Structure 1
Amino acid sequence: MSQDCPTLQIKDGKLKGFMSQADDPSAVPVYNYLNIPFGKPPTGKRRFLAPEKSEPWDGILDATKPTHHPPQDNEIGHMYADYLPMKDTLGAPTERQSEDCLRLNVFTPSVEKSSKLAVMVWIVGGGYMRGMAGIYDGVALSGMNNVVIVSPNYRANALGFLSLGKNSKVPGNNALRDIILALEWVRDNIESFGGDPSNVTIFGESAGGVMTELLMMSPLSRDLIHKAISMSGSPLAPTVFGGGEATREVLLKALNINASEPDAILEKLQEVPVDVLIEVQKKFYGPYAFQPIVDGHVITDTPENISSTGQRHKIPFLTGVCDSECAGILAFVLPPRYIEGSSKEEVKAVFEEAFKLRHPNTACDKVVDRLMAAYSDVAADNDKYKYSRIYAEMAGDSIFVVPAIVSATAHSAMQCPTYFYYITKPIEFNHSESNGPGIKNKLDFVKCDHGDIPYYIWGVPFVKGELPGGAWFTEKDAEFSRLAMKYFTNFAKTGNPNKGSDVSVEWPVFDPVSKRHLVLDDEPKADQNLHADKVKLYTVDFPKIVAEHSK
C-alpha cells in the first residue's frame, strides 16, 4: 500500500511511508511513517552523553520498516505480556533492539500543511528500565479522532538515567533530553505531516506519566509543549525521583570499574558491551532503578519545590489514576505470596524496606504499623486476601493516587485548566476463562489495573489484528475506548475534554477545594474529593508520624 502514501520532504530528507485504517466506520485512512531518526545514534563515544540532532540523508528513507526498541531487559517484558497482550501490527517484536534507537513513528490522517491538526506526542512507560514506543499503533487514535500522533523512543535504564555528577559530562536525565530533542523535531517538521507545531500535547503513562510532568517543570521544554496528559504517574510520588546514586555504585562494582574520576568512569562504561550492561541491571527494579534527578539543567529543583512554588509550565493539564494501580501487575513481584494471600508480616516487611530507602533514620516498623492500621477495614479478618488487599490499597494510594491529587491541586492553584480522572473500568480478558484463555487472570478485586488505560486511549479495540492468547475486546470495551479517545483528543485539540466531539457526561474542572473529577467507566459520572481521608493521611499525618519515630 506504500504507493498510496505520499513521499514527504522534511528537514533531513525524503520519507516513504504506508497507509492503514482502523476497524471502524468512522475511521479515515492514516499515513504511517516509521523509524524516522531524530537523533544521531547514541553509540560509541556518544553513549551516555546528551543526544545530538540527526543528520540529513540522501535519497528516500524507507519509513515503512518498524523501529528498533532501546536496549532493555526482555524478561520483564515477557512477564508483563502474560497479562498485557498487544497486537504486533507494526512488526516490532520485543527482541528487536538497538542502541541506535533515537527514532520515532508518526501517524497522521493528513499531510496537508494547511490541516493544522493537533499533535499528540507519546511518552511510553516502563519503570525507567524499559519502554517500547514502537509497539503502539496510532491508526485508531489518529484516524478516528483527526489528530497527529508522534511516538518517540528514549534511552532506558542506565543509558537514559545514569548520572556521574552535576558538573560531569553525564549529569543525568538523558532520557528526558531525548524526548526534548524529539519535541524539537516535532516543532521543526510536524507541519509536513499536517500537524500544528503550536498545538502539541505530550501524553504519557506510568514512568511516561512521571516524565510528562517533569517536562512541565523543565526550562528546556517551555516553548515546545502546550498541553499535557499524565496517566498513572507523578514525580511527587515517593519512589520515582531522585534515586540512582547507590545503584550507580552497584553497577560500577558489578562491571569491575574502579575509576573514581567521572571522565575515566565514562570511558570505561562506553567500552562495555551493551548486552553486558543490560544483564547487570536486571536487579535494579522499582525504587532501585536509575531515575530522573535534579541535574541543574533539565530539572533545576525538586518536583516538590517546583510544584509548591508555582513554577510548572502554565498550560492545560489532564491527569488521573486507575482504581487498582497496585493490585495487579505491580504486585506480582512484591509482596511474597500476593496471589495466594500474603501475611501481615510479609506485607509489613515490603513497606519497611521501601520506607528505609527514604527515611533511614526512622523506626520504620512503627511508621508502617500506623499506616497499615488506617487500612484495617479494607477486608474482613477471615478474608485470605486481606493483607494482599491492604498492600494494594496502601501502595496504590501512596505511590499513585495521592501524588496525582497533590499534583493536580498544585497545578490548579496556578489558575491553569486542570482535569482529573479516576478510571474503574476493568478489561474482561483478565477476568475470564473463555476470553483470553492464554492470558493470565487477575484477582477478583482488581478492576482497572496499572497499564490498562493505554488500551482504551490508543483505541486498541479498533486496531486490526489479533491479540495473543485468544484474547478479545468486548463491545463494552470498544465503546468505552471510543469515549475515552474523544475526551482525551478533545483536550489535545482545545484544552477542554468536553469541547469538540460529543461526549456523554460533562467532565468538571478540578479545583483545589472540591477536587472535582470524572469517574471513567461504562457510565461516567462526576464526583469530588477522591480518597480525601488518604490524602490527609499521607500529606498531613504521615510527616508527623515520621517525625515522631525519627531517631
Structure 2
Amino acid sequence: MAGCDMPQPRARLRCLRNKDAQELAEIREEGLRAALDWRPSIDGVFIPKHPRELLGENVTSGLRYMVGATSHDGSIFTLPLAGNPPTVAQQRFILETYASLLYQFKMESAEVAVARSSLNEYGLIQDPMDPLDILTRAVQLITDLFYGMPAEESARLNAAGGTKTYRYQLSVRLGYPPSFLPKAAFVGAEHYDTAILYYGVFEQHPDVYNLTAEELELGRNIRRYIANFAKNGDPNVGYAVSVQWPVYTASSRQFINLDIPTTIETFDRERQYLFATEVLPAIVRVGKEADTVDTRPRQSQPCSRGIWRTYRTPSVLSRWYFKRLMRNG
C-alpha cells in the first residue's frame, strides 16, 4: 500500500524508512476494512491449514497452553455506541464492518445476515433503546465474538488435543482517574488493562495511574503465574501464588477469574458459545453460497418438470429461504 513491495527485504525497509510519516498514516484512511485485517495468513508453509483443522489433528499434543481474555475486551470497538443510541441501520452498519473483518467477506449478503442475527441474539434490534442498555449489550456482543468465545474455543480444542491448558479471564475494574481513560460504570477489565497488570507499565507513573494496594498485589500475582508458566509449564509451580489455577478440561470447564478477590469459575455461557462458533459460521456459509449463485450468469431454459425438480432440491430451497430472510428481515 505504501509502494514499497520490493522482493528484497532490505530494499523494502529502506523504502519504508524514506516515507514521510504523514504519508504512512494516511494509508489507513482507505477504510476500516482494509486497515484492520490482523488475522494470521494461511500461507501453506508457516501456517499450512486453518488453526481449527490443525488443532483437530492434535498437533499441540503434549504442549502447555495459556489462553484468555478480559471481561470487557470489546469496549474498545463500541465507542460509536457510547453516545445517543444509534438507529438499527447504524448498528447494522457497524456490525457489518465487524463481520467483514472477522470473516473476510467479499459479498454483501453474508455480512448483512451476520449483522441481523447478532443484533437479534443480543437484543440490539429495538430502535431506539436506552443508551446505557445498548452500550452494555454491544460491549458484550463484541467481547464475545472477537475475544471471549475464540478464547473458549481455543481452550476446548487444545484441551481435546492433549494440551495441558490453563484458561483465564481478567475482570478487575482498575481505579484509574476518569480523566485519564474514561470507563462506563458497568465495565470491568478492558482490552488495554492487561498491559497494566501483566507488565506493570503504569506502576512507574503513580501521578497518572493510582493503583490501590489490592490492585498492585493482583498485578504481582498475575506476573507470578506467568513467570511460573514460562519457567515450569505450570502457573502454580515456582513463586508462591494466592489461588491454585486449575487445568482446563472438557468436564470441568474451569478457569481462573483474575479479580479482587481472585476466584475459580466455571464457564456457563454455552448458548453464546454455540452462537459464535456454530450458528454464525453456518450463516456465513449459506450467505456466501446464496451470493455465489446470484453472481452466476443466468441462462433462459424451457420450463419443464425436470427444471421444477431441480428447484425443489434442499440446497436450492435453503438459498430461497435465505433470500426471503434477507428481504423480509
Q: Place the TM-score, normalised by the shorter chain, in its bin.
A: 0.7 to 0.9
Q: Is the 8 A contact 1:424 1:521 kept in 2?
A: yes
1:444 and 1:279 mapped to 2: Cα distance? 33
Cross-structure match for 2:82? 338
Aligned CA distance change for structure 1 residues 489 and 340 (closer, same or farther; 3 Å)? farther
| Superposition map of 1:430-469 within 5 A | 436=177, 438-460=179-201, 463=203, 465-467=204-206
Aligned CA distance change for structure 1 residues 326 and 376 (closer, same or farther; 3 Å)? same
Aligned CA distance change for structure 1 residues 527 and 454 (closer, same or farther; 3 Å)? same
- Per-residue displacement from partner, 1:226-270 (whole Å, max 9, x unpaired)? xxxxxxxxxxxxxxxxxxxxxxxxx26xx5x8x9xx649996885
1:424 positional shift:
0.9
Q: Is the 8 A contact 2:67 2:168 kept in 1?
A: yes
1:308 aligns with 2:46: no
1:281 aligns with 2:27: yes
Aligned CA distance change for structure 1 residues 454 and 425 (closer, same or farther; 3 Å)? same
1:480 and 1:348 mapped to 2: Cα distance? 39
1:545 aligns with 2:283: yes
Aligned CA distance change for structure 1 residues 295 and 425 (closer, same or farther; 3 Å)? same
Q: What amino acid sits opposite 1:294 in the alignment?
A: I
2:246 and 2:20 mapped to 1: Cα distance? 49
Q: Is the 8 A contact 2:248 2:255 kept in 1?
A: yes
Cross-structure match for 2:163? 416
1:437 and 1:398 mapped to 2: Cα distance? 27
**Secondary structure of 1:320's match?**
strand
Gap runs ≥5 in structure 1: 1-250, 430-435
Cross-structure match for 1:397? 144
Q: What amino acid sits opposite 2:166 in the alignment?
A: Y
Aligned CA distance change for structure 1 residues 378 and 289 (closer, same or farther; 3 Å)? closer
Out of 450, 465, 472, the position equivalent to 2:210 is 472
Aligned CA distance change for structure 1 residues 340 and 486 (closer, same or farther; 3 Å)? farther
Out of 173, 176, 179, the position equivalent to 1:426 is 173
- Per-residue displacement from partner, 1:373-432 (whole Å, max 9, x unpaired)? 111289998522333233211111111111111111111112221100111101111xxx
1:266 and 1:493 mapped to 2: Cα distance? 36
**Secondary structure of 1:488's match?**
helix
* Greater share of residues in helix: 2
Aligned CA distance change for structure 1 residues 382 and 338 (closer, same or farther; 3 Å)? closer
1:460 and 1:421 mapped to 2: Cα distance? 20
| Superposition map of 1:110-125 within 5 A | none
Instruction: Tell me the number of residue pairs that the alignment of Structure 1 and Structure 2 aligns.
Output: 282
Out of 84, 96, 114, the position equivalent to 1:367 is 114
Aligned CA distance change for structure 1 residues 453 and 286 (closer, same or farther; 3 Å)? farther
Cross-structure match for 1:203? none
- Per-residue displacement from partner, 1:63-83 (whole Å, max 9, x unpaired)? xxxxxxxxxxxxxxxxxxxxx
- Per-residue displacement from partner, 1:107-155 (whole Å, max 9, x unpaired)? xxxxxxxxxxxxxxxxxxxxxxxxxxxxxxxxxxxxxxxxxxxxxxxxx
1:324 aligns with 2:72: yes
Please give the TM-score of this superposition, normalised by the length of structure 1.
Answer: 0.46
Aligned CA distance change for structure 1 residues 282 and 542 (closer, same or farther; 3 Å)? closer
Aligned CA distance change for structure 1 residues 541 and 374 (closer, same or farther; 3 Å)? same
* Greater share of residues in strand: 1
Compute the RMSD of aligned alpha carbons. 3.2
| Superposition map of 1:470-509 within 5 A | 470-509=208-247
| Superposition map of 1:25-424 within 5 A | 251=1, 255=3, 263=7, 270-271=14-15, 273-275=18-20, 278-283=24-29, 288-289=35-36, 291=38, 292-312=40-60, 314-327=62-75, 329-332=76-79, 336-356=80-100, 358-361=104-107, 362-376=109-123, 383-424=130-171
Q: Is the 8 A contact 1:379 1:386 kept in 2?
A: no
Identity %: 21
Larger relative contact order, structure 1 or 2 (CA cutoff 8 Å, min sep 6): 2
Q: Is the 8 A contact 2:83 2:131 kept in 1?
A: no
Aligned CA distance change for structure 1 residues 274 and 383 (closer, same or farther; 3 Å)? same
1:437 and 1:385 mapped to 2: Cα distance? 17
- Per-residue displacement from partner, 1:343-392 (whole Å, max 9, x unpaired)? 43322111113334623343432332222211128999852233323321
1:515 and 1:287 mapped to 2: Cα distance? 37
Q: What amino acid sits opposite 1:326 in the alignment?
A: G
1:365 and 1:296 mapped to 2: Cα distance? 30
Q: Is the 8 A contact 1:425 1:447 kept in 2?
A: yes
Q: What amino acid sits opposite 1:275 in the alignment?
A: D
- Per-residue displacement from partner, 1:134-186 (whole Å, max 9, x unpaired)? xxxxxxxxxxxxxxxxxxxxxxxxxxxxxxxxxxxxxxxxxxxxxxxxxxxxx
1:366 and 1:471 mapped to 2: Cα distance? 43
Q: Is the 8 A contact 2:72 2:188 kept in 1?
A: yes
1:466 positional shift:
2.4
1:294 positional shift:
2.4
Q: Rg: which structure is higher?
A: 2
Q: What amino acid sits opposite 2:20 in the alignment?
A: D
Q: What amino acid sits opposite 1:354 in the alignment?
A: Y
Q: Is the 8 A contact 1:343 1:387 kept in 2?
A: no
Aligned CA distance change for structure 1 residues 503 and 286 (closer, same or farther; 3 Å)? farther
1:412 and 1:548 mapped to 2: Cα distance? 30
1:531 aligns with 2:272: no
Aligned CA distance change for structure 1 residues 446 and 311 (closer, same or farther; 3 Å)? same
Aligned CA distance change for structure 1 residues 369 and 294 (closer, same or farther; 3 Å)? closer
1:280 and 1:294 mapped to 2: Cα distance? 28
Gap runs ≥5 in structure 2: 291-329
Cross-structure match for 1:49? none
Q: Is the 8 A contact 1:378 1:386 kept in 2?
A: no
- Per-residue displacement from partner, 1:255-291 (whole Å, max 9, x unpaired)? 5x8x9xx649996885452335623433365763364
1:511 and 1:314 mapped to 2: Cα distance? 14
Q: What amino acid sits opposite 2:98 in the alignment?
A: A
